[in-house]
Amino acid sequence: MTPAELKGLIRTIPDFPAAGIQFRDITTLIAHGEGLAATVDHLVERARKGRPDAIAGIEARGFIFGAAIAARLGLGFVPLRKAGKLPVQAIGIDYALEYGSARIELDPGAIERGERVLLVDDLLATGGTALAGARLLRQAGATVDHALFVIDLPDLGGGAALAAEGIEAESLIAFPGH
């Protein structure tokens, strides 16, 4: 399936989680076997180009795609978790969302200093979550210069925010407008 066909599998939920937000729901994409497989195929193709040593995914939907990419490439997967979910001494970072704030954490033992880590998530909006993930990985000693997303909302500026920190953002599907 092409990215244009995959775009047709993503539903839009208006006014969720707040008025004025057009939520791009991947539930319908991941429930479609052929669509999910094609999405992973496209992401793996793009991931290969960066020759990463590991894949990191942001909880929760970044786990779906990040773990699949890591398994296909024979690489380790590093989960960036919500606060309080790791059973070890973790490092963390607080960040702003389009409609609130959050914290993600990482087991610093999951990263080797200098390791090239590809950051993966389902959606790029303002870039706040992805920047927090990249900063956290860098704090742990990783090199992060590439991030993959299924969906980009380009009008919200996330790609530019990542580029300003030396991170190339790449996505399969764009939904212009807000």
Give the Å distances, CA to CA, from 138 to 76, 131, 163, 167: 17, 10, 15, 12
Nearest-5° Cα angle at 16, 10 to 22: 50
Count helices and strands in the chain by DSSP H and E runs: 6, 9
Token digits of residue 29: 């994409």
Considering 72, 98, 138, 165, which one is annotated as catalytic? 98
- The reply to whether 61 belongs to the active site is yes
Closest C-alpha among 80, 76, 71 to residue 54: 76
* Beta carbons of 115 and 146 less than 8 angstroms apart: no
- The reply to whether 98 belongs to the active site is yes
Give the bridge partners for 22, in sequence order: 14
Considering 59, 61, 81, 105, which one is annotated as catalytic? 61
Catalytic positions are 61, 98
